[in-house]
Amino acid sequence: MALTLPSGGQQRPAWSAMSSRGGGSPPGNDPDAGAVAAALASLRREHRQVIVCTFYEHLSADDAAARLGIPVRDVKRRACSALDEIRRILKERGVQVPCGYLGG
């Protein structure tokens, strides 16, 4: 299933706390974008879909659940697992992640 960006309408703030700064961080504090993209690409499909919906598309857990056709509890569980996996992958690759950048 391919995810498409919302075509408009009102979006709620992202549920996932990938960043305490609302989805980004000050210039110079971002981990290597290529490493983050590679970590995201290496996630299981269902985890990647949740991260795309909640972080990149700024959907709430309720809206992400509706879009993906899964319960809200699964959105939250998958987001937590995905963020843990992204942290692990980045650490393994020696990428420094600023405190709070991935909600951890």
- 5-58 pLDDT, tens digit per residue, is 333 333 333 333 343 334 444 344 566 788 989 999 999 999 999 999 999 999
pLDDT recorded at residue 103: 66
- The arrangement of secondary structure in 33-92, i.e. its CATH architecture, is Orthogonal Bundle (1.10)
Element (H, E) at 67: helix 61-68
Residue 49 φ/ψ, nearest 5 degrees? -60, -40
DSSP 19-66: -TTSS---TT-SPPHHHHHHHHHHS-HHHHHHHIIIIIS---HHHHHH
Q: Where are the domains of the chain?
A: 33-92
